Amino acid sequence: MTEQQQEAFDTTGFIILDNFLSKNELDNILSAVDEVGDKVRRIRGLRPDEPFAVRNALAHHESFLDLIDHPKMLPLVVDA
């Protein structure tokens, strides 16, 4: 983690990583978000425009698990 990233993390509790995911990785994550969203809305009987929250997203789709040990992510998590 760079010094600037560490300072941002210490101040806000998060950092923004521009251009972090490849197009393919981003497409996979967005597809997983849509899939989980559709499932949750169906189960809860929600309209497409109704907001909702999902806890433990990792349990809802394997694509989210791929982020945990992503080669660009893991060093940042260890540093944090």
- Residue 75 to residue 80: CA distance in whole angstroms: 9
Is 78 a residue whose pLDDT tops 90? no
Model pTM greater than 0.85? no
The vertex-23 CA angle with 11 and 34, nearest 5°, equals: 80
Cα(77)–Cα(80) distance, integer angstroms: 5
The pLDDT tens digits for 9-43 are: 999 999 999 999 999 999 999 999 999 999 999 99
CA atoms of 51 and 1, how far apart (whole Å): 34
Dihedral sign, Cα of residue 29, residue 35, residue 39, residue 44: positive
